[in-house]
Each structure stands twice: as C-alpha cells, then as structure tokens.
Chain A
Amino acid sequence: MIAALANPHVDFLALSPEIALTATIVLVLVADLILPERSTWQTSRIASLGTLVSLAFVAVLENHSAIHGLFGGAYAVDRYALALKGFFLVATYVTILISVDYIGEGDYYEGEFYFLLLCSVLGMTVMASARDLISLFVALETISIPTYVLAGFRKHDRRSNEAAIKYYLIGAISSAVMLYGMSMIFGLTGETKLSAIALKVSALPDSKVLAVAIFLSLLGFAFKVSAVPFHWWAPDTYEGAPTPVTAFLSVASKAGGFVAMLNIIFFGFGGKAGMWWLVIWVLAGLSMTLGNLTALKQTNIVRMLAYSSVAQGGFMLVPFAAYGIAQSHHQTDVARSAFQSVIVYLLVYGAMNLGAFACIIAVARRTKSGEITSFSGLFQHSPVITVLMSIFLASLAGIPPFAGWFAKFTMFRAAINAGGWAGVTIAIVAGVNSVIAAFYYLNVVRNMWFRPAADDAQPVQIPGALRAALVVCTGLVVAVGVYPSIFGDIADVATKTFG
C-alpha cells in the first residue's frame, strides 16, 4: 500500500494535457522574467499556443483509448473528462483572445495575468478527471485561488479591490464549509473515492449526520456556482473585476464548480437522492427567479450579465434536481438525459456568454462605459457588432435557431422526463423564467437597434484577436443551434457513463 503510494504507476500520456499546461505556465513565468518590458505581450502568444498544444493532446487522447483510471480510480481520463477538458481549453483560448487587447492597452502586468489564468485552467482540467474527494477539493482550490488575484487585477481601482476581497472571503468560507461536509462523509464511509462512497452511502440508513454532511457539501458548491441565496458576491465581483476576467469567472470558473457538482452528485450521492433533491430543486427555482428579477433592474451591462449568469446557473441546476427526483423514485433512465443536459448547457452557455462579453469589450473600448444606454444606436454605425451581440443575447434568451434553445430544451427535457409534480413544476418555473429573461436581454437589443445614436458616435473598431474570438463563438452558437447533432458525441459520453 505504502509502496504503491510512494511510487505509483503513472500513465504520462493520460496526463499529457495537464503536463503541457504546466510547462506553458512555467514558460510564461520565465518569459515574463527575461523579456524586456515592451515585449511582455509575447506572453499572451505563449499562453495561447500552450493552450492549443494541450488541446491537441486532448484530441490525441480522445482517439487513443477508451478509459484510463489513474491512481487507483481517483483520477479518470474517460470520454466525459476529455470532453470537458476540451471545453475548458477552448474557453480559455477564447478568453485569452478577448484579453489580449484589453490587458495590453491597460496598465496591467501581462505576464502575471496569463500565468494566473493558466494556473486556474490547470485546476479545471484536473477537475474534469477528479473522482475522489481529495483531488476534487484540490482541483477546486487550484481553480479558485488564482481567480481571487485576477479579480483584483485593476490594482488602483477600489471596485476591483472590493471585488477581489469579497470573492476571496466567500471563496474561503465556502471551501471551509464544503471541506467540513466532506470530512463528515469521510467519517461516515471511511472512503474518499467517489465510487466507493456511492456504494457505502447507499447502504447507510438515512441519518441526520448524513443529511448534514450532504447538505454542507452542497452548500459549498452553491456558493461556488453563485446559486441564490449564496449569489450576492457575484455582481460586485463581476463588475469590479477586469471585464475579460469577469468573462472567465462567469464561464470557465463557474463551469468548474458545476463539474465538481456533477462529479460528486452523479458519481457519489446518487443513491441518497431522496435526501438532497429538494435542496437543489429550491436552489434552482430561487436562482432562476431572483436572478432574473434582479437582472431586470440593472442599468450596467456587466451587472446585468452577472445576474443573468446567476439565473443561467439556476437553469443548469434543474437537471440536477431532475436527476434527484428520478433517483428517489428509482427511475434510472433520467440519469442519462440529466447528465447530458448539464454538459450541453455548460458548453452552450460558455460559447454564448463569452461571445457576449467579447462584444461588450469591443464596444467598451470605444465608449469607455458599461452602461446599457451606451449601446444606444449601435446599429446605425456598427451593424456587424450589433448583429453579433444580438445573436448572443438571443441565444442566451433561448431563441432558435441559436444554440441557447437546445441547451434550454435539454434542460426542459430532463425535467419533464423526471416527471411528477416536482419535475413539471420546475419545468414551468423555468419556462416562465425564460420569458422574463428575454425581456432584459432584449432591452439591450432594443437600445442597440431602436434608439438613436449620440451625434458624435464613432464606429466600433474590432481588433484582430477579438475578431477571432467572435468568429469562434458565433460559429459555435449558430452551428449548434441549427444542427445540434454536433453534440452527438456528448450523448455518447453520457451513454458510456451510464450504460
């Protein structure tokens, strides 16, 4: 046992994406050290290249073999993990593209920015594979800690400092709560591996201790994914942080939290669904409703998207609740559709939200404002960016033929499939909420299209990197919306995972 721990068998190919990332992180740091001040922008190149190399390794693994279980099953490199790694890396690549000009033009330390960003991404790729409480927790912290610093990257701005400190405190508290819950799980089962926990937990009688343990672990995640009522840090943090960081937080880092939840709930707590589904059900309903209602009143576009991301998080919680409802009735076929739904939603949400942020960054470069009214009359002088922004917003609202509809659809599908009063009610709540959401997304559209422009308004110039990011996001949003079978692979992943 000890010998195996001290000298485990390591499959280096299976770890190649992470190794490539680590090497890139070191390279960025070294390059920042030796490059003269005026060439530090080169680090963004290194970072994006490294991300692509890592992505290439993911592609290699995808075609290589079926399932690698490493470290005694604590770390899995299966289709599911690879799909998510791919998603995280693409999202990172787009984030770097939208950061280049923003970071380059502002008064920022460029090398450190990409260094921290990639560290966080490393945590995400590990998270996709984590099948053990410890690796899960380590991955989650690796994701979070660099982002605390990133949120405060506008050092001389008090809002940015506020953003960082709030985010840090909440992160620390939620980690502590979660860890406490996990320790109780360990105490009850004597296991850290999720598959082993799943077996033991199902055999345990329903007890108050178990309920508290599960509840505390879930609470920690609720903070991480900013579910109502644990969401209040998000708007301040999102508004204060540099906009590319906000994009990253709202997409990749949130996805990290959801993947952690996916792992722990689907691979660990499934057997005791009766004890937790109601919690998730309530969180989902509250997040959707309050997130949307608060977003209605926002006048700052980043704050609006912050609340919208709270609401979208609520939509993503629906399949979890559906899974729980179905499991508590021993109705097993829902697991697949729910699992699939979370993944599809994450991927689609990533593409459309990053796209929206790319547009905001492009427009804000000229207007220097985050107010929704600063988008007024955009259509008259910058029609291209207006149409793109409208596409992303329509997609967020779930209007066909843009990808958002398919994400919402799979979510509805999981809820209706679970059935019962709980499934149908949450589906209807989600339905009503998508109408509310449409109102504030369209409010931006209305400003861009229907309102007159200011007299001195100049056309928005889009730099090359942002243009590339927009092309990637638009391509995904339209392609997935028109032909969702591109996601056929994901269905396959879910089938492989749940038989």
Chain B
Amino acid sequence: MAHGFDAWILTLTTFTPIVGLALVLLIPKVEEELIKLVTLLTTLVTLGFSLYVLKNFDFDHTAKLQFEVKKTWIEVINSNYHIGVDGISLPMLVLSAFITVLCVIYSWNHFPEPHNVKAFLALILLLEVGMNGTFIAQDLILFFIFFEIVLLPMYFMIGVWGGPNREYASIKFFLFTLFGSALMLLSFLAIFFKVKNGQGLHTFDIPELIAAGKGGITHGVQLIIFGGMFIGFAIKVPMFPFHTWLPDAHTEAPTVGSVLLAAILLKLGTYGFIRIALPILPEAAKSWAPWIGLLAVIGIIYGALGCLAQTDMKRLIAFSSVSHMGYVMLGIASLTSFGINAAVFGMVAHGLITGMLFFIAGSVQHTFHTREMSRLGGLLTQAPKMGWILGFCAMASLGLPGLAGFWGEFPAILSVFKPADGLSLPVFRTYMVIAAIGTVLAAGYLLWMLQKVAFGTPKDEWKDTHVHDVGPQEWMAWLPLLLLIVVLGVVPGLMFKTTDGAVKQMVDKAFPTKVEKGVAEKQPEAKSPAIYVKHLGR
C-alpha cells in the first residue's frame, strides 16, 4: 500500500476533472474564454498528476501494483475502493490524460454546432473521470462503475454535437454498450458467488480473484461466465460481429468525440480482456481463444474490405479501427506474453495514430464542409502541411516499420505463429496468414484514401477557395501525437519495458508452460525487429 502523497495521487488523477467540472458549471455560460481556460488547466493538472505517477513508477517491478490504495466502499457486498497501477494500466492511464488535453486544445476554436462551450467541455471532463478511473480500478464493481460512466457523456457528445444522423448513432452506441455491460455485470456476480478469497470470503477484488484461481468452478460454468464477459468487452472493442455501432458512432460524432472514442474508449474493452477476463478465468480463455482469434481475423479482413467500400473519409477511418482492433485481439488470443505485449502496444499505437487521423478528418471537414472523398483531392497543393501529416499518419497506420503502428501489428501477427500451449497450431497459423493478408489490404485502403484526398489537383469547386492550412492551435494539439508516433516507433522498448513484467507475470500465472517461460525471459530486450525474427525461428 502507498503512503502519504502517493496514496492520493491516483485518486487525484481520476477525480481532478470532477473539481474542474464543478467549477465549469459555476461559471456563467457567456464567459466562454474563462470556461475554456479552467478546463484546459484542469486537464493539464490531471496530466501533471499522471506524469508524476509515470515518473515515480518503479520500472523494475512493473508486475507489482503501485500507488495502491484499498478502502472500504460498499461493505454489504465486500466491494472496495481498490486502485493501483501496474505496467499494463500505466501507459493507458497516461495516454488517457494526455489525449484529453490535446482534445481540449483542439476544441479551442473548433466547437461544432450548436456550440455551447460550457456543456461540451463539462462532458469532456466527465468523460475523463470514467476513462482514467477504468484504468486504475482493481475491483470489479469499481471497474464496472467507471466503465459505465463514460456512456452518458459520449452519448450526449454524439447526440448534441454530431452529424445529421446523430440521434440514431448515439442511441445505437448506448444500447449496444449497455447490453454488453449488463451481461458483463452478471458474469462478475457469478464469479463473486463462485470464488472465495484467502479469508474464505466472496470478493470482487481483482488481484484476490486472480490469486484464488478458478476456485471450484466447473469448466462448463467457466465457459458461460467468460462468454458474458466476452460479449461485454467485445462490444466495446468492437469485435466482429458486434462492431456495427462503431462506424455510425464515429461518422456522426464531433471530431473530438471521435478522437476520444478511438483513442481511449475502444481500449476499455481490450483492457478488460487483459486485466479481468484472461487472468481470472484462464481455462475458459483457453477454450475461447480459437474463437476469439477467428472473430479477430474476420474483423481484420471485414474491416479492411469495409474500408475499401467507403466514400466518406471519416467512415473509412472508422472501419480501419475495426481492422486494427482485430490485430490487438489476435495478439490477446495468442495467450502468450509476446502477443499480449504486442496487444498493449497496439492499443496505445492505435490510440495515437487513429486519434490523429480523426483530427485530420475533422479539419478537412471543417475546411471543405464535406468528407466525401470523390469531392476532395489535391490537399497537398492546397494545404501541404496537412497533406503531409495525413500521409505520415497513413504510413503509420499501415504499419510502416519505424513508426508506432508497426509494433502493434507485426508482433501480434507473429505471436500466433506460436500460441500458448494447448492451442491448435494449424488453426492459429491459418489466422496468421489471414492476418498477414490484412496488412496488404490495409496498405491498399490507406494509400487509396491518401491518393483520393491528398494527391492530384483540387476539384473545380475548391479551385478558388482559400484553404486554411495547419495553424498554431492544430500544431499544439497534433505535434505531441506525431512526435510520440515516431518516438515509440524508433524506441518501442520504452513501452515494452513497461508492460512486459506485468504481462509476463499474468501469463505465467494463467497459462504456464515451459517453452513460454523460455521466450519470456528474453522478452525485455525485445526492442529491435531482429529479436522478433530470432523468436520466430525458434
């Protein structure tokens, strides 16, 4: 347990936005500049707290929960306010605090109709509470609460500030997620009643549940419980065939909403798999893994084909999310520390890259009032900076080595070459081949989009329009993202070093194998492609 200021730091990181929210609500609606300033300061302070966590995190013991606090919360059901971060949650927490700041900066003078700065920023702050909280929760009920808190703000964000079809998109998003979380909650309750902790009590405590093992749950019941959680998390990811809410939500959401959705909200699902479903029910995970893998590769191909059929730039990026999250899920389905490390990396990389792509789509829309690719073209001549950034992000997204996208995608594909013991090799190797084909398709649709939007000459209707290129506000919001994409691409060890210890411990406990350990020991040095190739050869 943490002491002194360290015991408060995670609580501060999560709940500072609530303080900002209260302040924003007290300021009269007309004082827009003041509201923006208060929001920005709040998110900056929150980011500062998260950076304090990053700085004081003990990177030699990433598997250990740090800054841990455990206080009684709901005694009746033995649920506690148990929070802490390890190597898996730390990058997500920092990412969440970081992206929120950029979103506030970008919003500064990009408020979508019907404007209402106060309500918009208040919702972003509320959203941040839910996002940060989910990544620090170490209790199933606490996790559930934070997981649900993000629902309403995003619903309003899409519904009030969204595009023409916003009413449909917002309710679809809401109901899909709510359905999943209802089943998820039932699964949590089933685990609660089936498993006892060290003191012989029923518990919702995640580390205690992991330590207790599967208890006396029969395999059949485990499969069902895992199924409930699977649906809850898979809808959020979203995996095929639960993905249909995503293109609608993304297309209709305001730019900042899309960015937050892609960068953080989708990760709540994959994070749930890694933090909860896999370690608590490892046997069921093993039985489910081939099916998860199957849905993941279907998602990869389906998402890619979906992209090729789009005419709307933003919708294309949305479908590319389905495809990319497929790689993340494929890495998770391998049930190896190799694959799960890649998955966490993929989560962060996708957050940065796709977040960035949505920012650009937003600016294109802002400038041309359309996202129809057939009407766009010649961005490189009219707004060269934005055009180059788009090209850069497309490269990152298709997994060009040296940029962040590569380290999520490539190892995830490799990991299924040798999945955890007991999983069928032929099946997973087939998945590997299919996933590899997906990368070709990814290159196809991304370059196609780039060609449509950025290359060529401007269409007649825009010929005489003065196009506003990337301005200071955009640079401030985008530059940090672009830099991180490069940095993580060149020095992926920064991330792998953080996640590996925690991932390895989880996998060793849940899916112990001799071979696996051998690979795992060499993991920390996994920084260059050469290492991966070496592993492949084993």
> Interface of A with B (CB < 8 Å)?
340, 379, 383, 390, 394, 397, 399-401, 405-406, 409, 412-413, 416-417, 419, 424, 427-428, 431-432, 434-435, 438-439, 442, 446, 449-450, 483-485, 487-488, 491
Contact = CB atoms under 8 A, between A and B. Distances in A.
B186 A435 contact: no
B189 A416 contact: yes
Contacts of A412: 185-186, 189
Contact of A450 (B74, B160, B178, B192): B160
Nearest to B184: A431
Contacts of B109: none
B75 A491 contact: yes
14 contacts: A340-B76, A394-B152, A399-B151, A400-B149, A413-B192, A435-B175, A439-B171, A446-B167, A446-B171, A449-B156, A449-B159, A484-B76, A487-B76, A488-B76
Contact of A442 (B174, B190, B193): B174
Contacts of B186: 412, 416, 424, 427-428, 431
- 7 A-B pairs closest in CB distance: A431-B182, A416-B189, A491-B76, A400-B145, A400-B148, A435-B179, A450-B159
Question: Which of B148, B174, B185, B193 is packed against the most chain A CB atoms within 10 Å?
Answer: B185
Interface in B156-191: 156, 159-160, 166-167, 170-171, 174-175, 178-179, 182-183, 185-186, 189-190
A432 B182 CA distance: 8
Interface size range on B against A? 20 to 34
A491 B192 CA distance: 18
B178 A438 contact: yes
Contact residues of A: prevailing secondary structure: helix
B1 interface: no
Contact of A483 (B73, B152, B155, B192): B73
Interface string B137-161: 0000100110011011001100110
B72 interface: yes
A409 B174 CA distance: 19
A434 B182 contact: yes
A439 B193 CA distance: 30
B487 interface: no
Contacts of A435: 175, 178-179, 182
Contacts of B141: 409
Interface of B: 72-77, 119, 141, 144-145, 148-149, 151-152, 155-156, 159-160, 166-167, 170-171, 174-175, 178-179, 182-183, 185-186, 189-190, 192-193
B189 A438 contact: no
Contacts of A446: 159, 167, 170-171
A401 B189 contact: no
A182 B178 CA distance: 43
Contacts, number: 90
Nearest to A406: B74
Given A401-B145, A416-B190, A438-B174, A485 B76 contact: yes
Contact of B72 (A383, A406, A438, A485): A485
Given A416-B192, A427-B186, A432-B182, 13 more contacts: A399-B151, A400-B145, A401-B145, A406-B74, A412-B189, A413-B189, A416-B186, A431-B179, A432-B179, A435-B179, A446-B159, A450-B166, A450-B167
A223 to B, nearest CB: 30
B77 A442 contact: no
A463 B471 CA distance: 49
A409 B76 contact: no
Contacts of A424: 186
A449 B144 contact: no
A421 B9 CA distance: 45
Contacts of B185: 409, 412, 431
Nearest to A439: B175
A417 B193 contact: yes
A413 B149 contact: no
Nearest to A418: B193
A435 B175 CA distance: 6
Given A416-B193, A485-B73, A442 B148 contact: no
A487 B79 CA distance: 14
A403 B178 CA distance: 16
A442 B75 contact: no
Contacts of B77: 409, 413
A439 B167 CA distance: 12
A431 B171 CA distance: 17
Contact of A399 (B73, B152, B170): B152
Nearest to B141: A409
Contacts of B182: 431-432, 434-435
A432 to B, nearest CB: 7
A79 to B, nearest CB: 15
A442 B145 contact: no
Nearest to B146: A400
A485 B145 contact: no
Contacts of B149: 400-401
A413 B160 CA distance: 35
A449 to B, nearest CB: 6
B155 A442 contact: yes
B111 to A, nearest CB: 16
Given A416-B193, A432-B179, A442-B171, A485 B152 contact: no
A405 B148 contact: yes
Nearest to A490: B76
A484 B74 contact: yes
A149 B174 CA distance: 42
Contacts of A491: 75-76
A409 B189 CA distance: 9
Nearest to A430: B182
A390 B189 CA distance: 28
B145 A405 contact: yes
Contacts of A409: 77, 141, 185
Contacts of B167: 446, 450
A438 B72 CA distance: 30
A409 B186 CA distance: 9
A483 B166 CA distance: 34
Contacts of A427: 186, 189
A424 B77 CA distance: 19
B74 A485 contact: yes
Contacts of A442: 155, 171, 174
A446 B149 CA distance: 18
A339 B160 CA distance: 41
A400 B159 contact: no
A430 B215 CA distance: 27
Contacts of B73: 483, 485
A485 B75 CA distance: 6
Contacts of B174: 438, 442
Contacts of B160: 379, 449-450
